[in-house]
Every structure is written in C-alpha cells, then in structure tokens.
Amino acid sequence: MILKNFLKKMRSRLLSPVLQTIHYQGIYADRQPQILLSLAYKRMLHDNVPLPGFDEIGFSLLSENDEDGILLYIFSLIGTTNKKLVDIGCSNVNDSNTSNLLINHGWTGLLIDGDENAIRTGRDYYSNCPNTKLFPPISLCAFITAENINQLIGENGFSETIDLLSIDLDGMDYWVWKAIDSITPRVVVAEYQDIIGPDKAFTVPYRPDFKKGDYEVNQIRPDYVGASLPAFVKLARHKGYRLVGCNRYGYNAFFVLSGLGEGCLPEVTAESCLQHPWNVFGMEERFPRVKDMDWQEV
C-alpha cells in the first residue's frame, strides 16, 4: 500500500503541472511543455511508475478533441523512427490529428483531402509558419479511393515504414485502409462510426464515388458513413495491429503495430471504447434511423 501511494504521488507530481500549463496556454502553447510532458512519460516508463490511461492524458491544441495529447503519449512510449506521417482526409489545420506533430515536433508528412479550400488554406499556413516553412508537408487535393490511394502515397515519396497514418474520410475509411499496402505505419488513428456499437462488424459497401452528403436522412446529419469499431478491429488484426484506446468521445481509434509497446500499451476491447454518453446517444437515437440501410458485414 505504501508503494502504491508513493507511485500515485509521483505520477501526479510529474504530470499535473505540465498538463495544466498546456491546457492553460491552449492553441498558443509552444512545444516546450509538450517536451517536458513527453520526458515525464518516458521517465515513468523507465521507473515502472503506473502509467495514466487515455482518459487522463488527452489534450487539444490543434486536434478536434484530445487526439494531440494521446498521440504525444503513444510516441513518448514507443518512440519514433522517421517522424513521417500520412493524413488521409486531413481537413483543416486547426481540426487535425497531425498538425501538432508537424508544427511543434518536427514531423514531415503527406496531407490529402478532397476539399480544395482546406488544402489551399493548409498549404498557405504551413508555407508561412516559422516551424514548417523551410520544409512544409506535401498538401495534395485529391478524391481518395481504394484504387488510387497507393499511387497517391507512392508518387509523393512515401513508402515502407512510417510512424503514423491518420484516416478520416467519413465514408470509405475501412476500404481505403484495407487497400493500403505501400506503407507500414507503426501507429494508425482511424475515425469509426460509433453509433453501430461494439458488436457488429459493419461498414458501408465500397463505392469509389461515395459522398456522405448523398445519404442524409430527413435532412439530419449523414449517419450512413464509415465503419464500426469491430470492423476496424478485425481489419487491424489482419494487418498486424491491436486496438489500444480511443479519444474522449469514442469515435477515433488508435492502433499500434504488434510487437511495439505491448507492455505499456495493452490491447483493449471495442466495448471499452464505446462508453461515453455520446456513444450511448448515438446507438440509441441515431443508429435506428439508418439501421435498415445497406450495411455490409465484414
């Protein structure tokens, strides 16, 4: 009991001041407190201090929710190889899983999106940002399909091992990840359709011309998109990955390549990633509106 209490106090002493600084500074926080936080995680791992859960380490500087903090945590524990990333469906700079890594941590990347305005805005930002203007990420406007994704990746100089793949397409996410064989990311973050729940391995059937706006139901947000978490878990296992956690609201899943960080980032269940009231609301209120659509079991 004495040892357990001591370890809890040490964890609190190491993490709390830095996390408070990051949350206080918000989007204007520079990389220094993040470096301190990363060093704290590494020290905890080295000293066998109990590591925090995903619900304790998330924060947002440029990500939509708490993905910035989760990715910092994961790579603090497993390290990096080349700090290369591919972001498929990258969206805007201030609504991205990867902007913080590019701006504050010296990563390089390929950013792909079908939205011309998002790509133009991102290209302008990275070309003028002091931390990225010397070597900005490649920003590519393209409509992404299972047929063209490997060509798009390869033509832009990315191959073999990279550190991170982010997928957020609101549509063919499952099929695009399934098709990718030109790179081997060590970590994958993928948005899943949480309203389907933890039991059904469902995805929308593959259509290269799929657009989420084509499937609005009674002018309500298009919920006939994407794939369930169990579908992604099955695909991940086939590709050699395990599910290690999710974001705060339970719709972005994090997968780590088997053999990396097994002790500090253990596999978790799909059910454990669908506990937030937002998920419960989606399963009870939103999924019934689209449950009779053409879902494909995988």
The enclosing domain of 272 has a CATH number of: 3.40.50.150
Q: Quote the longest CA-to-CA distance of the chain.
A: 61
Count the domains in the chain.
1
Q: Please list the pLDDT of the chain residue by residue as tens digits (298 residues).
A: 444 454 455 556 556 555 555 444 444 456 889 999 999 999 999 999 999 999 999 999 999 999 999 999 999 999 999 999 999 999 999 999 999 999 999 999 999 999 999 999 999 999 999 999 999 999 999 999 999 999 999 999 999 999 999 999 999 999 999 999 999 999 999 999 999 999 999 999 999 998 776 765 554 567 999 999 999 999 999 999 999 999 999 999 999 999 999 999 999 999 999 999 999 999 999 999 999 999 999 9
Q: How many whole angstroms separate alpha carbon 232 and alpha carbon 227?
A: 7
| pTM, 2 dp | 0.90
Taking CA atoms, 142 is separated from 10, 88, 109, in Å, by: 48, 10, 16
The reply to whether 202 falls in a domain is yes
- List b or e across 167-190, with b for residues whose CB sees 16 or more CB atoms inside 10 angstroms: bbbbbbbbbbbbbbebbebbbbbb
Q: Which pair of tokens denotes residue 197?
A: 């729940």
The reply to whether 47 falls in a domain is no
The reply to whether 70 falls in a domain is yes
The reply to whether 65 falls in a domain is yes
The reply to whether 13 falls in a domain is no
The reply to whether 22 falls in a domain is no
Residue written as token pair 């407190």: 33
The reply to whether 38 falls in a domain is no
The reply to whether 183 falls in a domain is yes
Residues paired with residue 297 on neighbouring β-strands, in sequence order: 202
Range of the domain at 95: 59-297
